[in-house]
Chains A and B, each alone.
Chain A
Amino acid sequence: MATKFDAIVVGAGPAGATAAYKLAEAGIKTLLVERGRGRGSKQVFGGRIYVTPVREVFPDVEKTAPIHRWVKREKISILHNSRILSLEYESPEKHSFTTYLTEFTSWIVDKAINAGAVYVDEVRVDSIVEEDGRITGIEAGGERIEASIVIDAEGVNRLLLEKLGLAERLSPEEVALGAKEVIKVGADKINERFGLEEDSGLAWLLVGEPTDYLPGGAFIYTNRDSVSIGVVVYLATAVKKAREEIYRLVEKLRLHPQLRQYWEDGDIIEYSAHLTIESGRRFMPRKLATSGLIVVGDAAGLLLNTGYTFRGVDYAVYSGYLAAEAAKKAFNLGDFSEETLRENYEKKLLGSFIAKDLRNHTGVEQIMHEVEFFEKYPVVAIDTARKLFELGYETPRIQEALRSSLKTHHINLLSFLYKMFKMVRKL
């Protein structure tokens, strides 16, 4: 009975599937286990993937990955009081794409299977087995499978790492909750309504009304023939301040009088909700490898929220790749010790663009907890714009419009300027 593998990867998300693929490709006997049914049934993302790191791992990504649309338009909007204030950016370059995560992960899982990895789904791994200070395999349903190395790609809810004492229990301050709907509209209608070309897409971030003025953000992504819409709210504040269930927020977003024209008469084809990491740096385990174990993807805290965009899938893919490289080295050396794995994986990861990004953007979490940024400032921005654009008799100067809006909402100009300055610096 095949109960011994060289490597076991727990979790077939983008990180785990990539690791399994790269290992199998190197001729390492690899088992990839997934808890969900089929491919990617438990995975949720916002809607887009940045391509550059993925291309380094999969040079064929542009040709063979299930890419829906290249994001060529970025939009950030504040919504309040039936008014929308937006910033738009357009570029002809292909830097990120929209897709369904299920399709994208499935693309990698197929690569892994074709490379010789053994893939089994609907398996709940109960624990990662540790013997004499060394990881020796996994246990599922009372059965044990051994391997020289285990790659933990279990995702944000790190039950296995918790059991090993490598991660703390989740606390609400560390995570945000996202809920999302996919609405099938039809490609032609999407192109027409959003003013898009055949293969180009839109990534749209919204604050104010759509998040019920809670810290977080709402998003809209255009897929091939559908639109993904969703809301992310920070659990710590949402628990205290939310007036409605998060799924109601998504519903309100869908029914929003100024937005619903985009997906009118579409069919909701998917509904999902998932936890997401708020601060990758704080979420990162104390160590990313121990003897016989490497941690990748969300489980390693590799998610970035810059306030205006999210990155996670490309980090996941890249970390899976680094893990496989480190594991390959370990097999060559015949050395799976903590020291070697940390040297070859953790050090590489911490020296990579991912860790740099996470260190660089720690300011965002502070801003995300400043309620004013979501409760009052969107209102002030809209008020100011209203005064500038909706002219009656008088024509205020920008400064006057801003001052009077601040005054209406009892905000001190100096503290406002200071906070804006701080925000610009932190973001």
Chain B
Amino acid sequence: MKRPRIVVGIKWVPNTQAVRFDPKTGTLIREGVPSIVNPHDLDAIELALKTREKYGGEIIVVTMAPPGAEEGLRHVIGMGVDRAILVSDRVFAGSDTLATSYTLAKTIERIGRVDLVFFGQETIDSSTAHIPAQVASWLDLPYIYYVESIEKLELKENKVVVKRKLEDRYEWYEVELPVVIGVAMHSNPPRPISLTNKLRAVTEKPIEVWTNKQLGLDPRCIGLRGSPTIVSKVTWQPEIPRKRKIYQGNPKEAVKWLIKHLEEEKVLP
């Protein structure tokens, strides 16, 4: 019997909760900030694992990133995926979403027969949600997003039924395979990783590293050259410095003191 092959695209992102903004240059200060697997991608991996539990098959995780992302791939191997491919080459540096989606699409093509392609809904560091849609376009595949679950998978008839979650309703779609699916955030909380799986991830599974030697992509379509996006301006919301005023004394006086200061600062009318 035919078993599904599922590709999950993930992104290795700086932990944005720890990232700060440099007001002078208008860029993110990533130095010393630990990277993590984009949390919304873990929902996609979890859905892939559930799908494999039900229908069998193989889960292949793909990411395009510098070599440091191996740690993230180890993490998802620990969750139980079968293969992990790190697409990593200096020529991919500086990619915007177009160049990235192109590179990922070509990677997926090279994997061979694929039935389902999962992505997280968006990434926490840029939140464009471009990648799944663009990958679908490059591969000329249908794209369904905000998907919560796989309701029915019929490989023989080459179709899948997915449940999509919207603000006020659910929708069910029956589509032909292969299909690109954006998994709704928080829809499939990732499972805890058992000790033996962690050990398996660290000790056994090799990470496959693909460079442009394997992919052979046109340099005009990848990296900085393949990236038409221009960030013209970034502004930020400046932090309002605290006044650091502390009142010491009895509560009655403190209330008067506080009201007076709030009025002076025009917080109170």
Contact = CB atoms under 8 A, between A and B. Distances in A.
Decide if A and B are genuine partners: yes
Nearest to B195: A140
Interface string B177-213: 0000000000000001111101110111000000000
A1 B200 CA distance: 7
A122 interface: yes
B203 A122 contact: no
Give chain A's interface residue range (CB within 8 Å of chain B): 10 to 19
Contacts of B196: 1, 3, 143, 145
Contact of B199 (A31, A38, A122, A255): A31
Given A38-B34, A123-B198, A255-B246, A118 B193 contact: no
Nearest to A125: B195
Contacts of A255: 246
Contacts, number: 37
A143 B203 contact: no
Contact of A120 (B34, B192, B195): B195
Interface string A137-149: 0001101010000
B202 A145 contact: no
Q: Choose among B34, B193, B198, B203 the residue with the greatest number of A CB atoms under 10 Å from its CB.
A: B198
A333 interface: no
A226 B34 CA distance: 20
A145 B195 contact: yes
Contact of B202 (A119, A122, A140): A119
A10 to B, nearest CB: 12
Nearest to A33: B195
B171 to A, nearest CB: 37
Interface in B111-143: none
B202 A118 contact: yes
Contacts of A118: 199, 202-203
Contacts of B193: 122
Interface in B143-200: 192-196, 198-200
Nearest to B197: A143
Nearest to A142: B194
Contacts of A424: none
Interface in A108-148: 118-120, 122-123, 140-141, 143, 145
Contacts of B34: 38
22 contacts: A1-B199, A2-B203, A2-B204, A3-B196, A3-B199, A31-B199, A118-B199, A118-B203, A119-B202, A120-B198, A120-B199, A122-B198, A123-B195, A140-B195, A141-B192, A141-B194, A143-B194, A143-B195, A143-B196, A145-B195, A145-B199, A255-B246
Interface of A: 1-3, 31, 33, 38, 118-120, 122-123, 140-141, 143, 145, 255
Given A31-B199, A145-B195, 16 more contacts: A1-B196, A2-B200, A2-B203, A3-B196, A3-B199, A33-B195, A38-B34, A118-B199, A118-B202, A118-B203, A119-B202, A120-B198, A120-B202, A140-B194, A145-B196, A145-B199
